[in-house]
């Protein structure tokens, strides 16, 4: 099988892929495993009315938190906002729509989209506000909420190391949301700390088939 080299672009070129009203997935757990240089470039991009799908909104004036500060974002789909008071303030002032999704449910919604599934059934949220307006099913006497799959126009993810074919590897917990998000967007861009000729197959966490572009962090 012939392996195709992936295009290596700058963080600015990556950010230029984003247009008005785009839905963007951002990898990372707080500031761990975050494509920070792409986020910095995205702040300079003129796009607006963006929807972010991310585990959290990080901290004020840091990586994902910077995007909240710039008023480029109209909606956030996330698991928590407690580390960023700006997100909470904007939500209370109705300047930002915030949809809180349990972490496991968010991961599974993204995974379902990447796998081509029609959705998932989860007991998480049954009997709470999360159930309101959603279809429910009872299976073997247990109630489940139906959750639709969740995809994006573009995903910006992080990788510890990438090879020129787009295969990605990670150190420690930096893989977090990056791995599942790589499967669930029309365009996937990975910011990598290091780019090598070819990874050992045993290192690969994300196969290059999912990656469209690579950004080398040190060069931005």
With b for 16 or more beta-carbon neighbours within 10 A and e for fewer, the 199-218 pattern comes to beeeebbbebebbbbbbbbe
Using CA atoms, how far residue 191 sits from 8, 103, 199, 218, in Å, is: 10, 23, 16, 10
Per DSSP, what are the bridge partners of residue 48? none
108-122 per-position pLDDT tens digit: 999 999 999 999 999
Could you report the per-residue pLDDT of 94-106, keeping only the tens digit for each?
999 999 999 999 9
- pLDDT at 4 (0 to 100): 77
Half-sphere exposure of 5 (CA within 13 A, CB side): 7
Q: How far is Cα 214 from Cα 14, in angstroms, rounded to an integer?
A: 9
Residues facing residue 159 across a β-bridge: 192
Place of tokens 């470039």: 41
Tens-place pLDDT, residues 68-91 = 999 899 999 999 999 999 999 999
pLDDT tens digits, 9-21? 999 999 999 999 9
Tell me the percentage of the chain whose pLDDT exceeds 70.
98
Place of tokens 């073997």: 140
What is the rounded CA–CA span in Å between residue 207 and residue 209?
5
Architecture of the structural domain at 7-117+149-213: 3-Layer(aba) Sandwich (3.40)
8 A C-beta contact, residue 57 and residue 65: yes
Q: In this structure, what are the phi and psi dihedrals at residue 35, rounded to the nearest 5 degrees?
A: -80, 70
């Amino acid at each position: 099988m012939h392996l195709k080299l992936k295009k290596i672009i700058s963080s600015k070129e990556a950010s230029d892929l984003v247009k008005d009203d785009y839905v963007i997935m951002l990898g990372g757990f707080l500031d761990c495993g975050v494509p920070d240089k792409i986020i910095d470039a995205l702040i300079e991009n003129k796009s607006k009315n963006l929807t972010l799908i991310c585990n959290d909104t990080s901290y004020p004036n840091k990586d994902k938190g910077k995007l909240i500060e710039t008023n480029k974002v109209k909606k956030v789909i996330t698991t928590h906002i407690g580390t960023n008071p700006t997100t909470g303030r904007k939500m209370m002032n109705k300047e930002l729509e915030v949809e809180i999704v349990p972490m496991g449910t968010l991961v599974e919604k993204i995974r379902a989209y990447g796998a081509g599934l029609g959705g998932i059934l989860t007991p998480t949220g049954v009997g709470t506000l999360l159930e309101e307006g959603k279809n429910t099913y009872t299976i073997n006497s247990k109630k489940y909420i139906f959750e639709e799959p969740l995809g994006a126009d573009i995903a910006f993810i992080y990788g510890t190391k990438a090879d020129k074919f787009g295969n990605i590897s990670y150190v420690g917990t930096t893989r977090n949301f990056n791995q599942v998000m790589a499967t669930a967007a029309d365009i996937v861009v990975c910011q990598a700390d290091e780019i090598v000729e070819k990874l050992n197959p045993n290192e690969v966490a994300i196969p290059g088939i999912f990656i469209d572009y690579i950004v080398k962090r040190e060069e931005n």
